[in-house]
Structure 1
């Protein structure tokens, strides 16, 4: 993560003041994403229509994949096929909201002026759809950071073990060196003529 980056700026859309910012880890790289960009980058793990996260694997007969991206929607959430599509193909085609509408957003990018009750305190109006999107994004971020913490812990434990092994090898090497020095001294003491010749 760039330390000079605005702490509130999204790393993808570069929105400087998103309503919410989430920290996630991708292959050890920490990034801050707004709610909309976070959901767009993880669209294969939730239904893009009802924004419910998939807990585990989605049953093949209960989901339909977008023709343009990895998004998977519940069949009950996807729009019913037209009569022509139903008669021409046994497989229902589905285009997720993100692919079908370039202006689609799971969550407002910027602060929306507050207009009374029902706000989150930051000025963003939270309807049911936005609230579900925020909850989904927050859960994804929690899982991402939990996994990152586990990986960092595992890496730290490995480094500690490596350091202990290196310390043991250094201790053994020092002991071997001391043994060599002692044997050399014993050899010189037992053969003084050899020592005199070496001093000449």
Structure 2
């Protein structure tokens, strides 16, 4: 069982909290994964906070994006819960792509600086070689 960015959204209501997770006294952390659930989303809090399992681990039949095609035309009914799931997935994907782009730009800038230094060093080596070559003739 694995899903990406489990600490970025509540697996029950699908509120996304990429940079603002619920306050510690308002959340539950899954003991098997980094999933964060709103305390208010968990129907039965008859367990200790250390024993909480997110829906993915507490329900063997749990699935994200549970859709049932219509038997007549195979159309999928888009209900508010599915919309919230899709928006959460799109938001997290967008944030992930944005962060990857930032890191790629940062790495590219480092490589450009390294290339400038390497070019300057190569130019200096060639200058010295030409000076030695000129002394030899």
Give the TM-score range, shorter chain: 0.7 to 0.9
Post-superposition offset of 1:61:
0.5
Query: For residues 53 and 133 of structure 2, what CA distance do their matches in structure 1 show?
Result: 78
Contiguous gaps of at least 5 residues in structure 1: 1-11, 13-36, 117-121, 186-200
| Cross-structure match for 1:79 | 43
SS in 2 for 1:64: strand
SS in 2 for 1:76: helix
| Cross-structure match for 1:100 | 58
Task: Verify: 1:70 aligned to 2:27, yes or no.
Answer: no
Post-superposition offset of 1:92:
7.7
Q: State the superposition RMSD in angstroms.
A: 2.8
Query: For residues 50 and 115 of structure 1, what CA distance do their matches in structure 2 show?
Result: 30
Query: For residues 176 and 46 of structure 1, what CA distance do their matches in structure 2 show?
Result: 60
**Normalization by structure 1: what TM-score?**
0.58
| Cross-structure match for 2:101 | 149
Higher helix content, 1 or 2: 2
Post-superposition offset of 1:80:
3.2
Post-superposition offset of 1:95:
2.8
Report how many aligned residue pairs link the two structures.
136
Contiguous gaps of at least 5 residues in structure 2: none
Whether contact under 8 Å (1:78, 1:94) holds in the other structure is no
Query: For residues 114 and 79 of structure 1, what CA distance do their matches in structure 2 show?
Result: 32
Larger radius of gyration: 1
Query: For residues 112 and 53 of structure 1, what CA distance do their matches in structure 2 show?
Result: 27
**Normalization by structure 2: what TM-score?**
0.82
Task: Verify: 1:131 aligned to 2:83, yes or no.
Answer: yes
Structure 2 counterparts to residues 1-200 of structure 1, below 5 A:
40-54=3-17, 55-82=19-46, 91=49, 93-108=51-66, 112-113=69-70, 123-185=75-137
CA distances 1:140-168 after superposition (whole Å, capped 9, x unpaired): 10011111111111122222222222111
SS in 1 for 2:28: strand
CA distances 1:87-113 after superposition (whole Å, capped 9, x unpaired): xx6x5843322112212112037x834
